[in-house]
Amino acid sequence: MVSAEPMELMELMGADRLYARAIEAEPILPGYVWNARTHNYHYLRNMQFVSRPHILRLLDNQLNDLQRQAIAVLADVQIGQISPATGLAALNLSLKREVLTNAALAAGGWDRLTPTDFGRCGGILRAQYRRATDCINGLADGTVSPAQAANRVNMYFGRGREMFYEMERERLGPAPKGKYWAERRLLEPTAENCPDCIYYAAQGWRPAGELPVPGAASQCNGNCRCELQRKAIDADDYAKMLAGEM
């Protein structure tokens, strides 16, 4: 299945080669521009902004693709088609891509990632590489079942998605004058939602920062496909929200 989306993701991040350039600062490519004031991407050709749901969809499609590929790698290791070392190298490269892509999009492009951001990605990746090593070795020697391995690997990838929401929230500036940020959790209708996510979604709109980001503090962990929505509301609505009337 060929889609134009991976290319669009890369253009949004201002990167033409995800793997090779992942650790370098890259200028935003012509075609897209990040507006640091409004925290939106704009198409340069018409200056229309690229909606956040659109970016979230691109990221989720990438995550789904990488997870599918990772499961195929696990199957190849299990039947001995490839060595555990080769499988691990493929998984690690995909994990790097997932984590760095999410970081770059949360930050507004590669050139906006700070050394601290890269350090954070590196910390996450080191932990996920270690887990992936244990998982692949377990699969190869039969101590981890294919189903367990698939579930674990899905979670390793999901950590990138969780980090996107963390970084995006951290970079959120103050709400427009006289307004307050509110957030809510939305369940993915086609997903098997865990009890924790169902509980968070049932809270409705809450002051920004109160609800855990998708993937955090939930049983579904890296398999979470919930969305975190955000909007600026006025003082009246804020009072209603605190009273649970929103």
Give residues in contact with Zn ion (CB under 5 A).
197, 220, 224, 226
Q: Please name the residue ranges forming H helices in the chain.
A: 5-13, 18-21, 52-78, 84-107, 115-141, 146-170, 195-202, 235-242
Structure tokens at 18: 């995800």
- Which CB sits closer to Zn ion, 66 or 197? 197
Shortest spacing between CB 85 and Zn ion, in angstroms:
33
Minimum gap (Å) between residue 225 Cβ and Zn ion: 6
CA-CA distance, 21 to 18, in Å (whole number)?
Answer: 6
Give the nearer residue to Zn ion in terms of CB position, either 100 or 226: 226
Q: Which is nearer to Zn ion, 15 or 226 (CB)?
A: 226
Residue 181 tokens read as 């940020």
Residue placing its CB nearer to Zn ion in the complex, 62 or 193: 193
Q: Residue ranges of the alpha helices (H) in 4-51?
A: 5-13, 18-21
Closest distance to Zn ion from the beta carbon of 36 (Å): 30
Q: Under a CB-based contact definition with an 8 Å cutoff, are residues 13 and 101 in contact?
A: yes
Of the pair 173, 195, the CB lying nearest Zn ion is at 195
34, 166 contact by CB (below 8 A)? no
Q: What is the CB neighbour count within 10 angstroms for residue 197?
A: 25
Q: Residue 57 CB, nearest distance to Zn ion (Å)?
A: 16
Residue the block writes with tokens 């493929």:
90
| Least spacing, CB of residue 227 vs Zn ion, in Å | 9
Tokens 């990838």 label which residue?
157
